[in-house]
Structure 1
Amino acid sequence: MITLHHLENSRSIRIIWVLEELGIEYDLKTYKRLPSGLAPPELKQVDKLGHAPILVDGSTSLSESGAIIEYLVSKYGAGNYTSPDDVFWKHYIEGSLMSFCVFKLVLSISIEKIPVLLRPVMAVVPRMILSQWVEPNLASAINVVENQLSNKQGWLVDGDSRGNPTISDFMLAFSVDVLVYGGRADNLGPGLQSYAQRLHQHPSYVKAIEKAGDYRYQKREN
């Protein structure tokens, strides 16, 4: 049986979604973050860097969510869940969009952890990095995705031949959640907003969130 080592509030929710979407039986081992927000030391028993996700399938052990998604779709997807357009989007999402999402997330959390009385001094540099470098680049990266989604009612690249999500969507989901429900971007366009709503109504993604443990990047009922 497949085993997935999953860290709460992380990109490894992508892999839970893929496993649920493909209907693969798996054992989920969930790790809680430390109060500092870092991964617990137990993960280093599975991965030398202490990162997640880690997927173990028999004698095969894989890290990096993009590699894991491609492995699962190739081995268990029966030729579905792929599109020629995935070649661009899977790299764009992780290399451009997600990079600046992470920069903003880390810097914003760092500022929030500075004692209020010290913020006027200690937050000057991280705020400057955010305003002059991270936020403009993040806005540009978001616009590329927004333009792609602006006239769509389904998946990022219209799904596979059966209308299923593809590798592009599996990669995009966590970024969308951080931006839309994590409050890490302002004035998001209707394309991303609608996509997020569709994503969180998709049955296998609903199941993934239910199994993911603590997941702060989701729509909350008032």
Structure 2
Amino acid sequence: MTITLHSLQYSRAVRIAWLMEELSVPYKIVRYERTESYQAPPGLRQIHPLGKAPVIVDGDLVLGESAAILRHVQRRHGDGRFVPEGDRDAWARHDEWLDYVEGTLMRPISAAFWARRNDSEIDAKSQGQIDLHMGYLKGHLAKRDFLLGDELTLADMQMLYALAMARYAGVLGDGAAADYLDRLLARPAVERAIKATGPIMPDG
């Protein structure tokens, strides 16, 4: 059965397309353009009451939230790929990274994103949080190819959009986190996902 991915322009839907490309899961894209105020169009509320993307339709299941979708697709189609091997602690560390992206990291990065969009300054509190998290990521990634070591996981797929937004906002900087983002972007499955969903961030 083909999964339908409802994809908003410049959205987190690239994460889901990336996983499905890696797994060769059949899917089709329904794309939506953002409004002039950078919001989702009203039509998305016909698919999910919150009117946000990504949303998938998999048979009778309509599912939002990137992390939930990634977990669902992996469980149904992944056959153990892109989740950690090992003991329960490895799973716990993976879930920490997977949930960290939207639960903690995205708030200061979003503040930086909107500062750039509005041609304004980042507030001091958000800047402090950005410095904290960028330092944390750079330190963690200094000796690793991926968040959990040598193997790609769902957590890396979740991180892609956040770091692309950080680069757009001008707060990613150089070093290990930037190199990590470049490694992710160079993967053929990511290139195919971006072709399917459109650019991750605006040009200007």
> What TM-score do the two structures reach when normalised by structure 2?
0.89
2:147 maps to a residue whose letter is L
Structure-2 separation of matches of 1:150 and 1:168: 17
Distance (whole Å) between structure 1 residues aligned to residue 202 and residue 104 of structure 2: 20
1:65-101 CA-partner distances (Å, limit 9, x unpaired): 1110111111111012112221211122221111211
Query: Percentage identity across aligned positions?
Result: 27
Instruction: Specify the SS of the correspondent of 2:104.
Output: helix
| 2:99 paired residue number | 91
Which amino acid is the alignment partner of residue 177 of structure 1?
A: A
Cα 1:214–1:91, aligned 2, differ >3 Å: closer, same or farther?
closer
What RMSD over aligned residues (CA atoms) do the two structures have, in Å?
Answer: 1.7
| 1:155 corresponds to 2:146 | yes
Q: Is the CA contact 1:177–1:217 (under 8 Å) kept in the aligned structure 2?
A: no
- Give, in whole Å, the separation in 2 of the partners of 1:81 and 1:22: 10
Distance 1:27 1:73 in 2: 17
- Segment drifting more, 64-73 vs 81-90: 81-90
Q: What is the one-letter code of the residue matched to 1:138? A: I
* Counterpart in the other structure of 2:198: 213
The residue type equivalent to 2:66 in the other structure is: S
Structure 1 unaligned blocks of 5 or more? 113-122
Specify the code of the residue in structure 1 equivalent to 2:190: Y
Aligned length: 195
Q: Aligned with 2:63: secondary structure?
A: strand
Q: What's the CA shift string for 1:15-39, capped at 9, x where partnerless?
A: 1111111110001101011122111
Under a length normalisation based on structure 1, what TM-score does the superposition of the two structures give?
A: 0.82
> Radius of gyration: which is bigger?
1
Unaligned segments of structure 2, at least 5 residues? 85-89
Matched, 1:190 2:175: yes
C-alpha contact 2:7 2:30 (8 A) present in aligned 1: yes
C-alpha displacement of 1:217: 5.9
